[in-house]
Structure 1
Amino acid sequence: MGPSPPGLEILSQLHVPCQSMSLLLLLLLGNLPSQDAATAIPIMTEDQNFPHLGESLQPPPRACPPRCSCPRDDTVSCDGLDLGLFPSNITKSAQHLSLQNNQLVEIPYNELSRLRYLRTLNLHNNQLSSEGLPDEAFESLPDLQYIYLANNQLTVAPQFLPRSLRIADLAANQLVEIYPLTFGEKPELRSVYLHDNQLTNTGLPFDAFRGSEAITTLILSSNQLSYLPPSLPSSLIRLHLQNNRIAKVPRGALGRHVQLRELYLQHNRLSDAGLDATTFSKLKSLEYLDLSNNRLGEVPEGLPPSLVILHLGRNQICHVPAGRLSGARGLQYLLLQHNPLGPGGLDLAAFQGLRGLHTLHLYASGLEQVPAGLPRRLHALMLPHNRISELGPRAFVATPSLVDLNLAHNQLTSAHLHHLAFCRLGHLQTLDLAGNRLTLLPQGLPGSLQVLRLPRNQLNTLDPEPMTNLSMLQELHLGHNRLRVGSIMPGTWQEVPSLKVR
């Protein structure tokens, strides 16, 4: 080994820290006499990929408002923090901002307008008023797609929302007015939620949705509309108008809505004069129509063949004439409960053409007998709370496919319940006879029966004979009768091994 370079012997005898010694060594080596290339000592250059002293290999922490969470670079969540002021240090690159469930009363223009990359803004359940929500701020948010302003105190909607909008939720405010560019001229808009406000037809302009022909869901329930708005987007698939004051559907108001599948008009003030034969006739895709809790005196005309569910309960319908329902030949569920039909309210051919009818609700309709002319494929027949007092041998001969039969709370007695009344119901699984005046178990029950409800009758004895064919019976409800310990004859349960008596 050759002699040490000048100065190294001196350094070796000095107590110099390691880092300082390295620097001094480089300085000394730099002043050495030039040597051959083969013996030259290379000078180390800085590696740009190597961290400097004091630096960390970890990326710098992302900026996030105090107490909030920022799970991604583009997401800021400040939910449920009881904030009274809009956070001032939200990153400009935020695309998703959630401030729901706070106490915000104002959104500063300067703070909102600088978040120009926002796609989602969630301000649900705050204390925002229309004065505290700057209209002009939304002009600086060209990418905004989802805005949630439900459960605030807005009285008027923002005059302008971005053209990029896809979903807008302004439900549960105090809105009385919508502007043309609140929801108009939004080609990407799909869903609008405006339920639980105070909107009248005056506050919903004729051109409220002009240029927004991609809207599929519009929720306007629980407002103060007096007639169905005539200029709704033709692209609608679901339209909710329940719990308003609608007394009329203007002629042609639904004439363009060939894609509409669900229409909710329950709990309004519709009468026969408020509808005409063309009101629903153009709705070629309509599957669900709810007209319950109105003032209709008859089944509407012109029902489309696509209809699957028709809800007409709690109206004033006293007669269903032959042929009125025949146009709705695809109908599967018909609900007519709580109408004053009475003994002659159902024409013999009232259900003619409804070959696919699956479920029929007729409870509390003043009926005195099982309706004649029921569809043969009917699976569920609901007849509770009527005045039916007798079942003859042919009561259900037209409905051999019944699976669920409800005759609870009628006036049936054992003396007027024929032993062949149920014998043709070979698919029956559930029979409800609660709340009648029966003193004996019915005879001739089908062997397919699984649930038999007989509470609140006047049963005073149980014989084995009616149970002999019921090997599939699993539940027998007998509460609130007149049975005693000695009222149950020996062998009564012998043929029903899986039975649970309740």
Structure 2
Amino acid sequence: MEDAAFPHLGESLQPPPRACPLRCSCPRADTVDCNGLDLQVFPDNITRAAQHLSLQNNQLQELPYNELSRLSSLRTLNLHNNLISSEGLPDEAFESLTQLQHIYVAHNKLSVAPQFLPRSLRVADLAANQVTEIFPLTFGEKPALRSVYLHDNQLSNAGLPPDAFRGSEAVIVLSLSSNRLSYLPPSLPPSLERLHLQNNLISKVPRGALSRQTQLRELYLQHNQLTDSGLDATTFSKLHHLEYLDLSHNRLASVPAGLPRTLAVLHLGRNRIRWVEATRLRGARALRYLLLQHNQLGATGLPAGRNELRALEPEPLAGLAQLRELSLAHNRLRVGDIGPGTWHELQALQVLDLSHNELSFVPPDLPEALEELHLQGNRIGQVGPEAFLSTPRLRALFLRANRLHMTSIAPEAFLGLLHLRVVDTAGNPEQVLVRLPPTTPRQPRAGSPGAQGGPAV
């Protein structure tokens, strides 16, 4: 009997080809990749076994409920960069996606968040939409949820329900930057480690708003409208793991009180700070980087009968033995405004930026560990022979755009600076010749391009 149902001798048994949507690729049995195909219609023929579906960079305006709801095995759904509106994203479709862990809907046209997302969710990215409102079960009751991205939307405080994260006690990253928030939202997840709130309209942190976020390590509040009255001594005091705090580009007139002892980086640039109170920094024993550029530091005129306050005195910097970088650029500091002994306790300071102030000469008694000194944009007209005796480890010196002339720098000024590699003296009234100490046979000599106003390498 002829056996036509079996392959001829020598033929191998091949499994039938897997179904894959037209033009898409299916590199594995559980993966469907339809990225960047200019699709306007949700592809058909997607296997029910799909766990990872990529539809980013297309022109989809809606997701059909019947197509999405049957993909009950989905773990990752990537819809990044389409044209999907809230009307085109049916809430009911997610009810059957009980294994979904990652959803990416950034760069679409959502006006409100989905009212319901699966309990299994771990990462949700709804950034760069037009979202004005989220709902209690958008991100609430998600015990596995770790990261939520809502930046670049139109959220106001009214659009965030007080129970927005109830039952979601594992969220460690929350991005709400570039929205329309006017105060720091209450009832944020206590598990947070990184919180982005920059580029909002925040003028106040309500008392107790951060009292439960004891695991917070990074807090970004730059580019808001914070004033001294919008903070109090308890705002940051309970953040016992906080290492990074950015308050730049606000309206603060003083350094906030109650800074935690774990803080390593404090950005206060572009505020309205006139002086630094000693007690405000005393508790931040781990502080390594203090940035105060573009403030109003300087001698402040006060009514008659009171002493003149100096911009920088030893007391505010006392106890900051771990500080490695200090930026005081773009202020009005004069050498007389820097009190004697100011640098004494900054034994670890490696980078000091005093550029764009009103210094007439190099400040004395700078820290011994200093490696990089920025003095550009001041009024320095003379560099004496003892200017750098206290800084033997100096590697880079910036004296650009001062008032230096050809003979302004004493020949002995750089003796002993065996690590010095860069001296920038460009943009002064006259070309300044710098003789670096000889360390290697290839060291630039006086008159070489590396020693005349450009970097000496």
Q: Same fold (TM over 0.5)?
A: yes
Q: Is this contact kept in 2: 1:323–1:351, CA < 8 A?
A: no
Aligned pair partner of 1:281 in 226, 237, 258: 237
**Alignment of structure 1 residues 97-246 onto 2, 5 Å:** 97-246=53-202
Once residues 241 and 461 of structure 1 are traced to their aligned partners in structure 2, the CA distance between those partners, rounded to angstroms, is 47
Give deviations 1:3-26, integer Å, cap 9, x for gaps: xxxxxxxxxxxxxxxxxxx75xxx
Determine the structure 2 residue equivalent to 1:399: 367
Root mean square deviation, CA, Å: 2.4
Determine the structure 2 residue equivalent to 1:292: 248
Letter in 2 for 1:400: E
- Offset at residue 378 of structure 1 (A): 1.2
Q: In the superposition, relative to structure 1, how do residues 359 and 500 fare at CA in structure 2: closer, same or farther (>3 Å)? A: closer
Letter in 1 for 2:373: L
Once residues 132 and 350 of structure 2 are traced to their aligned partners in structure 1, the CA distance between those partners, rounded to angstroms, is 46
Once residues 315 and 130 of structure 1 are traced to their aligned partners in structure 2, the CA distance between those partners, rounded to angstroms, is 39
Once residues 247 and 441 of structure 2 are traced to their aligned partners in structure 1, the CA distance between those partners, rounded to angstroms, is 38
Letter in 2 for 1:310: L
Once residues 151 and 73 of structure 1 are traced to their aligned partners in structure 2, the CA distance between those partners, rounded to angstroms, is 28
Aligned pair partner of 1:371 in 329, 338, 359: 338
Query: Residue 95 of structure 2: SS of its match in structure 1?
Result: helix
Aligned pair partner of 1:362 in 300, 324, 328: 328
Unaligned runs of 5+ in 1: 1-21, 24-45, 477-489
Once residues 24 and 11 of structure 2 are traced to their aligned partners in structure 1, the CA distance between those partners, rounded to angstroms, is 27
Once residues 491 and 126 of structure 1 are traced to their aligned partners in structure 2, the CA distance between those partners, rounded to angstroms, is 61
- Offset at residue 467 of structure 1 (A): 2.4
Q: Is this contact kept in 2: 1:238–1:262, CA < 8 A?
A: yes
Greater RCO, CA 8 A, separation 6+: 2
Determine the structure 2 residue equivalent to 1:435: 401
Once residues 438 and 224 of structure 2 are traced to their aligned partners in structure 1, the CA distance between those partners, rounded to angstroms, is 47
- Answering whether residue 418 of structure 2 is matched by residue 451 of structure 1, we say no
Q: Is this contact kept in 2: 1:450–1:473, CA < 8 A?
A: no
Q: Is this contact kept in 1: 2:425–2:432, CA < 8 A?
A: no
Indicate the larger mover: 441-450 or 271-280.
Answer: 441-450
Letter in 2 for 1:436: N
Q: In the superposition, relative to structure 1, how do residues 461 and 330 fare at CA in structure 2: closer, same or farther (>3 Å)? A: closer
Aligned pair partner of 1:352 in 318, 334, 338: 318
- Offset at residue 53 of structure 1 (A): 8.6
Determine the structure 2 residue equivalent to 1:418: 384
Query: Residue 100 of structure 2: SS of its match in structure 1?
Result: coil
- Offset at residue 424 of structure 1 (A): 2.2
Once residues 118 and 418 of structure 2 are traced to their aligned partners in structure 1, the CA distance between those partners, rounded to angstroms, is 65
Once residues 290 and 327 of structure 2 are traced to their aligned partners in structure 1, the CA distance between those partners, rounded to angstroms, is 6
Once residues 400 and 201 of structure 2 are traced to their aligned partners in structure 1, the CA distance between those partners, rounded to angstroms, is 38
Letter in 2 for 1:397: D
Determine the structure 2 residue equivalent to 1:66: 22
Report percent identity of matched pairs.
60
Q: Is this contact kept in 2: 1:313–1:339, CA < 8 A?
A: yes
Q: Is this contact kept in 2: 1:321–1:347, CA < 8 A?
A: no
Q: In the superposition, relative to structure 1, how do residues 474 and 150 fare at CA in structure 2: closer, same or farther (>3 Å)? A: farther
Letter in 1 for 2:388: F
Q: Is this contact kept in 1: 2:41–2:60, CA < 8 A?
A: yes
- Offset at residue 390 of structure 1 (A): 2.3
Query: Residue 147 of structure 1: SS of its match in structure 2?
Result: strand
- Answering whether residue 234 of structure 2 is matched by residue 267 of structure 1, we say no
Once residues 318 and 132 of structure 2 are traced to their aligned partners in structure 1, the CA distance between those partners, rounded to angstroms, is 46
The structure with the largest alpha-carbon Rg is: 1
Query: Residue 349 of structure 1: SS of its match in structure 2?
Result: helix
Q: Give the structure-2-normalised TM-score.
A: 0.90
- Offset at residue 353 of structure 1 (A): 0.9
Letter in 1 for 2:224: N
Q: Is this contact kept in 1: 2:394–2:419, CA < 8 A?
A: yes
Aligned pair partner of 1:388 in 359, 383, 386: 359
Query: Residue 350 of structure 1: SS of its match in structure 2?
Result: helix
Once residues 169 and 362 of structure 1 are traced to their aligned partners in structure 2, the CA distance between those partners, rounded to angstroms, is 38
- Offset at residue 448 of structure 1 (A): 2.4
Q: Is this contact kept in 1: 2:74–2:99, CA < 8 A?
A: yes
Once residues 452 and 54 of structure 1 are traced to their aligned partners in structure 2, the CA distance between those partners, rounded to angstroms, is 78
Once residues 254 and 396 of structure 2 are traced to their aligned partners in structure 1, the CA distance between those partners, rounded to angstroms, is 32
Q: Is this contact kept in 2: 1:390–1:413, CA < 8 A?
A: yes
Query: Residue 202 of structure 1: SS of its match in structure 2?
Result: helix
Q: Give the structure-1-normalised TM-score.
A: 0.82
Give deviations 1:130-165, integer Å, cap 9, x for gaps: 000010010011000000000000001100000000
Once residues 261 and 324 of structure 2 are traced to their aligned partners in structure 1, the CA distance between those partners, rounded to angstroms, is 15
Query: Residue 70 of structure 1: SS of its match in structure 2?
Result: coil
- Offset at residue 457 of structure 1 (A): 1.2
Indicate the larger mover: 65-74 or 453-462.
Answer: 453-462
